[in-house]
Amino acid sequence: MNLTQEDWVSQLEVDENAVILDVRTEDECNNGIIPNSINIDIYEGQKFIEKLDALDKTKNYYVYCRSGVRSAKACEAMNNLGFENTYNLLGGILEWDGEIVSP
């Protein structure tokens, strides 16, 4: 599901079952991440799918990338793997107004 930043944040703040997933490259992450996010690079191909498949599918995943395109694809892949709740951040970290920290 695609969410605006406002909806993504307000839902995330009250979600006790939330995981923030950054699907950018390591180099991109070195420029800053949303706090408490885990990184799995979507460009890793099959390795990316294997890492996703190892995640707890009962959690709610808040997914972001640079602009929202890769994270939308990641959400689609996760849904195909049986994840029930994936939320794509529209506009990605480019349009993020919240806190950004060093990884």
Q: What pLDDT does 28 receive? A: 98
How many structural domains are present in the chain?
Answer: 1
Cα–Cα distance, 53 to 47 (Å, whole number): 10
Q: At 44, which CATH number?
A: 3.40.250.10
Cβ-based neighbours of 14, under 8 Å, separated by 6 or more = none
Q: How confident is the model at residue 2 (pLDDT cuts 50, 70, 90)?
A: very high
Range of the domain at 91: 2-95
The yes-or-no answer on residue 75 being catalytic is no
C-beta of residue 24 within 8 angstroms of C-beta of residue 70? yes
In a domain, 38, yes or no: yes
Confidence of residue 91 (pLDDT cuts 50, 70, 90): very high
pLDDT of residue 14: 98
Note the pLDDT tens digit of each residue in 27-78: 999 999 999 999 999 999 999 999 999 999 999 999 999 999 999 999 999 9
Q: Which of 20, 40, 52, 65 is catalytic?
A: 65
